[in-house]
Amino acid sequence: MSKFFIGAYAAAPSLSGWDPSAEGSFLKSVLELDGVAGLEVPFAGKLHKDDESWFLRQLPEQADFIVTTIPGTMARLGSDPGFGLASTSSAGRKAAIDFIREALNAAERLNESLARAAVVAVEIHSAPWADGQRASASALADSLKEISDWQWNGTQIVLEHCDAFVPGQVPSKGFLPLHVEAETVHRVNESSGRPMGIAVNWGRSVIEQRSPDAALEQINFLRGSDLLGGFVLSGCAGVDTRYGAAWGDVHVPPAPPTSLCARPDVESPGDLDVLESGSLLTVDRMEECLRAAGPASGEDFRGIKVAAPPHATVEQRVAVISKTLELARAAERQGGQGRTGK
């Protein structure tokens, strides 16, 4: 059974203010959950928005990590719309390449703090907005070719697909379409001999297509192209919820499945109220996507990234991750039984 990397920063107490005691308790509890491989760590110039040195001291020796550059990418896009690896602006593309180099250096700091190769992947993105002439496949290819020549120090480089720009639709990220990213990555992989994969985030795929079948379709496409580098369970909603507006990329937790509340493999069903009834991410959809993706391997990963309810306690923040993880593992077991015919 797969272990899951947790994008715990999306539910962290530090979102509401810096309290090292609360943040430390939260991280320790998340990392102790059964089925956790480690953390997806946000990078926006450092490995923790409040205190990187403190953060590195919290990490257990046995955990592994993924570094995601999406927080820093979005922050830089706020001040420079031409920033990105796919940017047709030479200055914007250079700034993005320099940023990825910073992320790899940060990953190496994390490795050094644990005295081993603990970072298994660094996630990069095909910013900027792909409206008009702002982004192109050729610019992305040039960036990926340059990155492929660097020393990766044992980590994988994974392009995370975000919602693509769709004319007439307000995007959350609005980057390049998946088929463009896939064609570009495939060409660079062939020329460099150093394979990069592409990761799918369930919520971002659904936001893009406004369809709950979108992530499954994209997983199947990438599996068929031998490019699937990871799959992250993160929900969204087509209606306003306590997490944000409809179709926002706000990491909505999954819907609480009443049919599972009495099942022995889903613990503490009374705590399922930390989940979100308006979420489009159901256990059945988890199951079909995890079945299509297959078990995690050394070449790709499985992840969970969900937000906590507004004004949540540390215990509630841990609970929303714990319940999502329990449902994901139950869904994977069901999917595995379907594959083997048991």
For the cut 50, the answer to whether the pLDDT of residue 297 exceeds it is yes
Cβ atoms of 5 and 66 within 8 Å: the answer is: yes
Q: Of 150, 199, 165, 204, nearest to 303 (Cα)?
A: 199
pTM of the predicted model as reported, rounded to 2 decimal places? 0.94
**The pLDDT value given to residue 271:** 52
How remote is the C-alpha of 298 from its chain's centroid? 17
pLDDT surpasses 70 at 258: no
* Distances in whole angstroms, Cα of residue 229 to Cα of each of 1, 242, 288, 308: 17, 31, 18, 27
Average pLDDT, the chain: 93
Q: How many Å apart are CA 47 and CA 342, to the nearest integer?
A: 43
- Report whether 272 contacts 256 (CB < 8 A): yes
Q: What is the pLDDT of residue 259?
A: 59
At residue 295, the pLDDT reads 86
pLDDT number for residue 342: 33
Q: Cα–Cα distance between 136 and 133 in angstroms, integer?
A: 7
* Sign of the torsion formed by the C-alpha atoms of 234, 238, 243 and 244: positive
CA distance readout (Å), 67 to 173, 199, 220, 323:
19, 13, 25, 24
Residue 269 pLDDT greater than 70, yes or no: no
Which DSSP symbol is given to 88?
A: S
Mean pLDDT of 133-161: 96
Confidence of residue 2 (pLDDT cuts 50, 70, 90): confident
Going by pLDDT thresholds of 50, 70 and 90, the confidence category of residue 338 is: low
Cα separation of the two ends of the chain:
16
pLDDT at position 87 over 80: yes
